[in-house]
Amino acid sequence: MTIVVLAIMTVALVVSRSTAMLSLRDTPIAATNIWYLDGDDWLASRADGELSILATVPGDIITDLQRAAVISDPFLDTNFLNTSAWSDSDWNFSRSVPGVLIGNANTPVLVLDGVKGSATVFWNDVALGTVSNQFLRYIFPIPTSTVGVSNTLLVSFNRSIDNGGRFMACTGGWDWAPMLPTRDMHNTPTFSTGIWKSVYLADIAPVTLVHVSSLTLYPGPYASARLVDGTVSFILQTTVFMRFTMPTNGSIELVGNWSTGARMSVPFSSPAGQNQATINMSATPPLLWWPVGAGRQTRYRLDISFVTDAGIAVNTSRLIGFRTLALARVVSSYSLVFTQWCC
């Protein structure tokens, strides 16, 4: 079974070959262990066998080709019209994975935070599933019977797999992206392919926090003037998306640092499989997040945990800004209507 969730961009502390990648990583799923496969030790090969080059993940085939001196700068002159190097054939991205990374994992999964283009994902020649949406995170269980001493991960791009148009909007050519003449099966302009976000392995037993979504809700009267920091309350509505490998009893715990008493624990039991819970938590009274020029951009840390009755805990966190938006219409002495925004 493949799990697909929306990918949210934020900062995560991880181990990487390049520290520059850290700030670009999505917050990973909350699992028992995580092993990143990012770096410059990937191999990109044309499906027709005509060319193989070193590749970097996260990255893009055009960047890899330029780094390997196969193509010139696509932003220079009319170089963007010379697309044969990457458009005449599909591409395969592969790398070796030492079995020691997940040899002791109870329930190993492969996570791809973002893939640009449609592809089939293989682990040691075993198809794990397909990816077809650039903006989604994909999670594939890895059968433990397929894990060896040395393993091969392969992302095989295939333009015949319909992606439903789910790729970046600049494909048609914007001021910061070259316009390319390549087309998909629907004759829609397409960009290049690549693994543009992180790839990692994780051990998710017995539970993982797949995704967390938090909304700040202002329960007060409709604002007709600017709110004042530290004088209004909010409701923080947090939805936690989880996956259980076995029936599990435990509790979901939320802790915020906007006040010493910002803590909530909710008992939760689930069968094996996917589940979710939505929790409303009062926040009284936080400092507000203001647009630049209107005030400080105050943010608070929200820690989210699931703790099993056996004492196993998985944790993640989010940065929260409390704000609301209201449209106030003011009539002047000249009977003209002025509009102002109140946060």
pLDDT on residue 342: 53
Say yes or no to pLDDT of 4 above 70.
no
> What does pTM read for this prediction?
0.81
- Per residue, what are the HEC states of 73-86? CCCCCCHHHCCHHH
State whether 194 and 314 are in the same domain: no
- Whether 199 and 229 share a structural domain: no
Q: What is the pLDDT of residues 167-201, one digit of tens each?
A: 776 655 555 566 566 666 677 666 678 999 999 99
Domain range enclosing 142:
3-203
Q: Are residues 241 and 194 in the same domain?
A: no
Higher pLDDT, 2 or 228: 228
Is the torsion defined by CA of 218, 6, 211, 267 positive or negative? positive
| pLDDT, position 169 | 65
Closest CA to 326 of 224, 219, 201, 250: 224
Q: What pLDDT score was predicted for residue 243?
A: 93
pLDDT band at 89 (very low <50, low <70, confident <90, very high): confident
Q: What is the pLDDT of residue 1?
A: 52
Does residue 147 share a domain with residue 43? yes
Decide if 113 contacts 107 (C-beta within 8 A): no
Sign of CA dihedral 186, 191, 193, 194: negative
Residue 276 CA to residue 104 CA, distance in Å, equals 28
Position 78 scores a pLDDT of 80
Determine, yes or no, domain membership for 48. Answer: yes
> In this structure, are 219 and 191 located in the same domain?
no
- Does residue 68 share a domain with residue 182? yes
CATH number for the domain harbouring residue 181: 2.60.120.260
For residues 48 and 131, membership in a common domain is answered with yes
Tell me what the pLDDT averaged over the chain comes to.
85
Give domain status of residue 333, yes or no.
no
- 26/174 same-domain check: yes
Residues 134 and 238 in one domain: no
Amino acid making up residue 76: L
Give me the DSSP letters along 128-146. Answer: EEEE--TTEEEEEE--GGG
Where is pLDDT greater, at 216 or 11?
A: 216
CB–CB of 56/95 below 8 Å? no
**Tokens 């070796």, residue located:** 96
Q: Are 139 and 272 in a shared domain?
A: no
Residue 334 pLDDT level (bands cut at 50, 70, 90): low
Instruction: Tell which of 150, 183, 203 closes a domain.
Output: 203
In a domain, 343, yes or no: no
Give residue 182's pLDDT: 64
* 332 domain-assigned: no
For residues 142-149, give the mean pLDDT: 93
Give the residue, 82 or 257, on which the prediction is more confident.
257
Using 50, 70 and 90 to split pLDDT, how confident is the model at 79?
A: confident
Q: For the chain, how many structural domains are there in total?
A: 2
Residue 341 lies in a domain: no
Runs of H (alpha helix) within the chain? 61-67, 84-87
Strands of the chain, DSSP E: 3-6, 33-36, 39-46, 52-57, 91-98, 108-112, 119-123, 126-131, 136-141, 150-157, 199-203, 207-217, 234-244, 248-256, 263-270, 273-283, 300-308, 313-320, 326-331, 337-342
Instruction: Tell me if 58 is assigned to some domain.
Output: yes
155 in a structural domain:
yes
Please indicate, yes or no, whether residues 157 and 61 belong to a single structural domain of this protein: yes
- pLDDT for res 9: 30
What are the pLDDT digits (tens) for 267-302? Answer: 999 999 999 999 999 998 999 999 888 899 999 999
192: in domain: yes
In the chain, what percentage of residues exceed pLDDT 70? 82
Do 218 and 169 fall within a single domain?
no
Q: Enter the tokens of residue 52.
A: 């193989």
Specify the higher pLDDT residue, 276 or 73: 276
The single-letter DSSP state of residue 335 is S
Residue 223, pLDDT score: 81
